[in-house]
Amino acid sequence: MLESMTIRNQQQGNADVRQQHGTIVYGDLLRREPRAGHRLRGGRLPAGLALSEADIQLELDRRKPGTSRHVTQRREPDTVEILSGVYEGKTTGTPIALLIRNTDQRSKDYGNIADTFRPGHADYCYWHKYGTRDPRGGGRSSARETAVRVAAGAIAKKWLNEKYGIVIRGHMTQIGEVAIPFKSWEHVGGNPFFSADPDIVPRLEEYMDSIRKRLDSIGARLRVVADNVPVGWGEPVFDRLDADIAYAMMSINAVKGVEIGAGFGCVTQKGSEHGDELTPRGFASNHAGGVLGGISTGQQIDVSIAIKPTSSIAQPRRSINKQGEAVTMETMAATTPASASAPRRSPRRCWRWC
């Protein structure tokens, strides 16, 4: 199976280089296949970038399953192999092929849903669009698909940092009804919730355990920011930087909303509040999220995304089968706990919009 997507990257100036990085994802990334692959199409991917498997593995280790009781308990090491495009530790400018092997396939977990459609999943849409569907997992809509995005994002992130000094980071800002204050970036990597406030982690643990006991799941909100982005990236109309970011974010499965800057909060703001005033020292605020008229302002790019609750839960749900008959089913697979989807869909996944 081939799927083409783009990791968009804007250079300074008005030149449109949307295709600077491209990716092709091959293979089935789910439980039934022994491997998943990712190929970075060469194009103008620069030669000479120092790149090792360790650079990519660092990001994959943050994404991999089984790291806490609040995410899927499947054990996937997500070890990446560089197959081509790197010689003596540096990129050659030719296509970069990466391989991530699946080691914990559990196709039998999905045997009871072959003829029914799981509520909240893409089964129904796949069936009607293609006339067939493979019931052994979520296919392209599975969270497993994000492994290859993270691998490619690690390369883009490294290149942006070395060439422009751009730093991209993310953290959880809300799980269900629980808002998570921001204290310091240093705390984000030290807990399973990517929380920037360590003091709230016990409350999050308790909240998640209560959701699990009710055999349910919950949604979340994540924030991703990019610092040191130069002024002038993006175009005024069709190649707007904010449109590219929103497009990339919405292509991540389970994302149901994107905000840039104040986002929907601007509805209650007056013009005197929302408009970012300029001073000799720079902007006085950043309600625009670092983008005006589709072009970067030089401020921090500030993006938030909404993640829907995990659809596979152990509660009986109404659905239909392929014959259109009413059925009651539990969509809980043995590999997915009845907990929030948010920790698994960490801010690290969002780095692909670089």
Exposed e or buried b for every residue in 215-246, given b needs 16+ CB within 10 A?
A: ebbbbbbbbbbbeebeeebbbeeebbbbbbbb
The pLDDT score that the predictor gives to residue 8 is: 35
Confidence (pLDDT) at 350: 47
pTM beyond 0.75: yes
Is residue 278 helix, strand or coil? strand
Can you give the pLDDT at residue 228? 98
Counting as low any pLDDT under 70, the low residues of the chain are: 1-44, 65-75, 104-112, 136-139, 332-354
Number of structural domains, the chain?
A: 1
- CA nearest to 98, candidates 26, 2, 5: 26
SS3 state at 245 = helix
C-alpha–C-alpha distance, residues 335 and 354, integer Å = 31
Share of the chain above pLDDT 90, in %: 53
Q: How far apart are CA 294 and CA 192, in angstroms?
A: 34
**Closest among 128, 79, 123, 116 to 319, alpha carbons compared:** 116
CA dist., res. 55 & res. 162, Å (int): 13
pLDDT of residue 12: 38
Q: What is the DSSP string of 123-183?
A: HHHHHHHHS----SS-GGGSGGGHHHHHHHHHHHHHHHHHHH--EEEEEEEEETTEE----
Quote the pLDDT of residue 282: 94
The total of other beta-carbon atoms located within 10 Å of residue 177's CB is 7
What is the end-to-end Cα distance of the chain in Å, rounded?
A: 25
The pLDDT value given to residue 22: 52
Residue 138 belongs to domain with CATH number: 3.60.150.10
CA 142 vs CA 137, 146, 297: distances in Å: 7, 8, 35
CA angle 275, 277, 281 (to 5 degrees): 150
Round to whole Å and give the CA distance between 154 and 168. Answer: 11
- Look at residue 36 in the predicted model and tell me its pLDDT: 55
Residue 300: which domain range?
A: 2-353
Contacts of 206 (CB under 8 A, 6+ apart): none
CA-closest candidate to residue 311, choices 127, 176, 119: 119
The owner of tokens 């390369």 is: 155
Separation of alpha carbons 157 and 148, rounded Å: 14
Between the CA of residue 113 and those of 24, 71, 72, 321, what are the distances in Å?
29, 22, 19, 9
CA 242 to chain CA mean position, Å: 16
